[in-house]
Structure 1
Amino acid sequence: MLAGRRITATGAIVAVTVLASLIVSLTSYELDAAILGGFIPARLSGMLDFTGVLAVPAILTPLSCALLHAGFFHLGMNMLMLIVTGQPTEKVLGPAALLVLYVVGAYVAAASQWLVDPLSQVPMIGASGAASAVVGAYSLLFGQSRAKSIGPIPAQ
């Protein structure tokens, strides 16, 4: 607990992601991290063999790739999106459900990438898929049309 406040699941995800991204960035291993920890569809398809290489197991790369980002703007936008939508969503769903939603979103994003090009050797990195799952839940929970009509054009 920090100053009487509990750490939320959203806060924990953001903290771990920012910490991982900072470590990778400060050690200048961005490319190595993307190759060894990013989601590469060809690895899952068995067309790219990492045997003997210290790499994240292919089945876990949808999670590890969510910790890696292509710069501070990429990281910042994903974390901003997660903070804005994650906190209210977590209040409704609870921390465990938010974590499950985030993990499922990471795997669905990776599966979608694999379906598009199962032989791709290009690493996918970033938390956009996982964070988008949270944005989707937020939209379903809180989405209401609040837009006002402008002139003769209806807002709905």
Structure 2
Amino acid sequence: MKLTVNGQERVLEGVDPTMPLLWAIRDLLGLKGTKFGCGQALCGACTVHMDGQPVRSCQTSLADVGDSKVTTIEAIAGRVAEAVRSAWIKNNVPQCGYCQSGQIMSAVALLESNPKPSRDDVNSAMSGNLCRCGTYPRIRAAIADASNSLGKQ
């Protein structure tokens, strides 16, 4: 089976096509930034981009990936990703940090598609990402800061 992950075509020998993408990313490709949270696509810790769209990799089978390009937190890049990263640091968003890769992946996808989201847009886009530490106010402030910085560039 072939996968394109972080811009590199990877061949996975002898894998079950029903294997979750998350396990291939973490266990077979050794990319540990994408986290296992609930295994049921409810918490968002496993969020990656598939052709630029956020997906829950714990419930996306390898067969579902097909020819799509998968991007993990390790390779997220570009103007929007840099704005989000800077805003995350400025707002001191992470507490324990476990959910942050999924939070960042969802925030980047939101701002890529909607650089000036409303509060409702942010709430909707981020609703599938849980933070057990409760850093939601800092997450939302960071998204607003990233959006504002994108408008200045």
TM-score normalised by L of structure 2: 0.30
- Higher share of residues assigned strand: 2
- Higher share of residues assigned helix: 1
Select the structure with the greater relative contact order (CA < 8 A; seq sep ≥ 6). 1
